Amino acid sequence: MTGPRDSLIDAHRAGVEAVTSAWERLHEQGPGYPYEHGSGPFCGCEDCEVRVILEAAYPHVRGAVLAEVLR
């Protein structure tokens, strides 16, 4: 059984993996060509990075919050 701390660690990992993957995909396509990521285009700016990280981390953070509320 995972607890809130485990869910937050999973959120961190998911965010890192998502932004790393987004950067890799952007580099594959070349500069100046944003690609569509799950929640919108990714061009590499800080706003795009934050959006990608939050999108990946949200389910885990939500799970941690629910685990705390339901204890």
Q: Residue 39 gets which letter from DSSP? A: T
On the CB side of 45, how many CA atoms lie within 13 Å of its CA?
8
Can you give the pLDDT at residue 29?
82
Can you give the pLDDT at residue 31?
66
Closest CA to 55 of 68, 69, 36, 71: 36
Instruction: Specify the 3-state DSSP secondary structure of 40.
Output: strand
Can you give the pLDDT at residue 17?
97
Average confidence (pLDDT) per 10 residues, the chain, 71 residues: 78 96 87 74 92 95 83 69
